[in-house]
Chain A
C-alpha cells in the first residue's frame, strides 16, 4: 500500500495533467462540433508549438512563455487557412473519412519536417525555475507543472467566456448546433467555422508551450498524445466540451494513480481500455453529447 503522501502527490499530478488534457481535448471537440472532423493533426501542432517554444528559448534566449505571443496568432491563422483552404474543399459525403486522412497527412508532414529541421534528438528546455518545487502536505509539486496547469486553466476559462458571453461565441455555438438554421438567421457560417478552427488550433499553441516547460520533446511524440486525446473525446461524448473536460480530468487522474502500481507505460493503456469499453457499451459517451448519437 503506497503512503498517503505518495497518493496525494499522484492526485495532484493527475489533476494538473488532466487540466492540460482538458484544454487539448476542448480543441479537438471544437473541430468535431464544427465540421465532424476528427483532427489527427491536433497533437502534431501541439508538438510544433512545443518545438517553437524550445527554439525561441534555446536560440533566441526568450522565456518559452513569451513564444506564445507569436505562436497563438500564428496557429489561429493556420487553423483558419486549414479549414478554408483544405477541409472545406472535401466532398461533404465522404467528409468524415477524408478529413481524417487529410489531417493525418498533415500530422505526418509536420512530424517529418520537425525531424528534418530539428533532427530526431530529444530536446528539453532548461529553465532557471525548471527544478523549483514546493511542498504541500508532504507532496512535492514542480512549479513548471503548476504554470502549465495555470496556462491551461486560463485558456479554458477564456474559451468558456468566449463561447458563452460574446456575439462570436453565440454565432459559433449556433453554427455547431444547426448550420442551416444559423445561416438562415444571418450568421456567416463559413467564416465562423474557419475562426472556430483557428481557436481550436490556438489551444494547441497554448498547450504546446505548457508541454514544453517540463517535458522532453521529440518529433514522434505526438502519437503519444493523439491516442489519449481521442480516447478522451470519445469517452466524453464526441462534440461535448464539458464532457471532454470531465473525461480528461477523470482519465488524467486515473492514469496518474495507476502509475504507482503499474509504471508509466502500462498506466497509459487505461485510455485505450476506456475507449474500447465506451464504444462497446455506451457508444454515445458518458457525459452527454447530443452529436455523438450519429457518430
Chain B
C-alpha cells in the first residue's frame, strides 16, 4: 500500500510535474473522500461544545484536545525522524511553568507569557537536542527520560520559585468569565492550536525538509551519505516540536490554573503522547489526533470508573505493549489496508500492466514530452512504475 509519504517521496525524487500528476491523478475519489473526512472531523470538533451536555464533558473534551495537540507536537520528532522521545511531557511542563511564572512573577499578560514561554522552551531544546541527537537512537531515549526525572527533582525542590509540591496557582486570563464559558473559550483556543500544529506538520510533510527527515527515519546512514544535514535537520525539528509542546503546556496552565510538579513533569504524560501517536499512526497527519481521541477518552473513563487505583498504569502499559508488538504502524494504516483489501482487491503492490496498456501509456508520454525535448527518442525512456 503506498502511503502518503511514499507518494510524496516518489514525486520529489523525480523532478518535474508529470510524475507527481500521474501518481495523484488516478485517485480523485480518494482525494475527495480525504477532504470530506477532514471537513467532517473539523465540524465534529467545532460543534462539540454546543453538543456537550454539561461542563464536565466539555472539560473532558478540552483534556482530549490537549492530548491531541501534545501528541501531534510529539509527532514532529517521532513521526518524521523515527526518534522516540519519552520526555516530551517535561517540555509541556516547562511551557506550563514558564507561562505561570511569567504571569505571576514578571507580570506579563497571559497570552504574551504563553508565547514567550514557548519560545524559551524552544530555545532550551537547542542544548538538550545537541546532547541527545549527536548520537543515534538509544541515547536520545535515555536523555528524554532523564529530562523528565531531573526537572521533576528541580521543580519539586526549588519551592521558593515554583511553589514545590504545594503547587502554583495561575491567574485566569479572563477573570470575568463563568466556569462553563471559560471552558468554552479554551476549547476553541485548544482547537485553534491543534489546527496550527496540524498545518505545520502538513507543510513540513510536503517540503524538502520533511523529505530529509523521513530519509533519516528510513536510513540515517544513507541519508547522511546523500548529503542530508542529518544533525541540523533533527535539531530543527526537535526545536519546532518543543515549541508546540511548550505552547500546549502553557495553554493548559492558563486553562487549568493550578500546577503541581508531580503531574507536570510526569513520565506518564510523555508516554501517553507516544502511545497516542503510535496507536493512531505516526506517519499520518491525523494519526496522533485519532490516537488521542481513543486513549484520551479511555483515560477519562478509567478515571471515572476506577478512581485512584493504579489500574490505568496497567491499561496504558498493556495497550502500549500490544501496539508496539502487533500494530507498530498504527490504526489508520491498518484500517486503510483493510479497506483497500476489501474494496479494491485488484490493486496490489505489484502493478500488472498488459503490453497493450504499456504501449498506450508510452505513446501518451511521448506525446507529452514532444514539445519539450523533441530531439530525444521518446520511446527509449525507462518505464517507471
Chain A residues at the B interface, C-beta cutoff of 8 Å: 32, 36, 38, 40, 86, 89-91, 94, 96-98, 100-102, 104-116, 120, 219, 223-224, 226-227, 230-231, 234, 238, 265-266, 268-269, 271-272, 275-276, 279-280, 283, 294-295
Contacts and interface: CB of A to CB of B under 8 A. Distances in A.
Given A112-B312, A276-B143, 8 more contacts: A97-B137, A97-B141, A101-B278, A108-B314, A113-B314, A231-B142, A280-B134, A294-B136
A102 B141 contact: no
A207 B154 CA distance: 28
B125 interface: no
Nearest to A117: B310
Interface stretch (B22-30, B195-203, B293-301, B317-325): B317-325
B153 A269 contact: yes
A91 to B, nearest CB: 7
Nearest to B128: A276
Contacts of A271: 146
Nearest to B312: A112
B314 A234 contact: no
Main secondary structure on B side of the interface with A: helix
Interface of B: 82-84, 86, 127, 130-132, 134-139, 141-143, 145-146, 149-150, 153-154, 156-157, 267-268, 271, 274, 278, 309-321, 324-325, 328
Report, nearest first, the 8 A-B pairs whose CB atoms are least far apart: A112-B313, A115-B310, A109-B317, A108-B317, A112-B314, A105-B320, A105-B321, A272-B150
20 contacts: A36-B138, A90-B324, A91-B328, A96-B136, A105-B318, A108-B271, A109-B314, A110-B317, A111-B310, A223-B149, A226-B145, A227-B145, A231-B142, A234-B139, A265-B156, A275-B142, A276-B143, A280-B131, A295-B135, A295-B139
B320 A94 contact: no
Nearest to A99: B324
Main secondary structure of the interface of A (DSSP, over half): helix
B337 to A, nearest CB: 17
Name the residue among B132, B268, B310 with the largest chain A CB count within 10 angstroms: B310
Nearest to B328: A98
A280 B146 contact: no
B310 A100 contact: no
B138 A238 contact: yes
B310 A105 contact: no
A140 B211 CA distance: 62
Contact of B131 (A102, A107, A224, A279): A279
Contacts of B278: 101
Given A108-B320, A268-B153, A295-B135, A223 B267 contact: yes
A115 B306 CA distance: 13
Contacts of A224: 149
Contacts of B149: 223-224, 227, 272
A157 B190 CA distance: 57
A84 to B, nearest CB: 13
Contacts of A108: 268, 271, 313-314, 316-317, 320
A94 B78 CA distance: 12
Nearest to B219: A93
B140 to A, nearest CB: 9
Contacts of B319: 105
A70 B139 CA distance: 34
A111 B146 CA distance: 18
Contacts of B328: 91, 94, 98
B147 to A, nearest CB: 8
A236 B162 CA distance: 34
A32 B311 CA distance: 30
B320 A101 contact: yes
Contacts of A115: 309-310, 313
Contacts of B318: 105, 109
B325 A269 contact: no
B311 A116 contact: yes
Contacts of A91: 328
Contacts of A280: 127, 130-131, 134
B310 A116 contact: yes
Nearest to A36: B138
Contacts of A295: 135-139
Contacts of B153: 265-266, 268-269
A102 B325 contact: yes
A219 B309 CA distance: 12
A275 B146 contact: yes
B75 to A, nearest CB: 14
Nearest to A230: B142
Given A97-B84, A230-B142, A269 B150 contact: yes
A269 B136 CA distance: 24
A107 B131 CA distance: 26
Contacts of B150: 227, 269, 272
A32 B138 contact: yes
A106 B143 contact: no
Nearest to A114: B310
Nearest to B270: A104
Nearest to B152: A223
Contact of B141 (A94, A100, A106, A112): A100
B134 A102 contact: no
B324 A219 contact: no
A94 to B, nearest CB: 7
Contact of A101 (B132, B143, B268, B324): B324
A106 B143 CA distance: 20
B310 to A, nearest CB: 3
Nearest to B84: A97
A96 B132 CA distance: 15
Given A227-B146, A231-B146, A272-B149, A100 B138 contact: yes
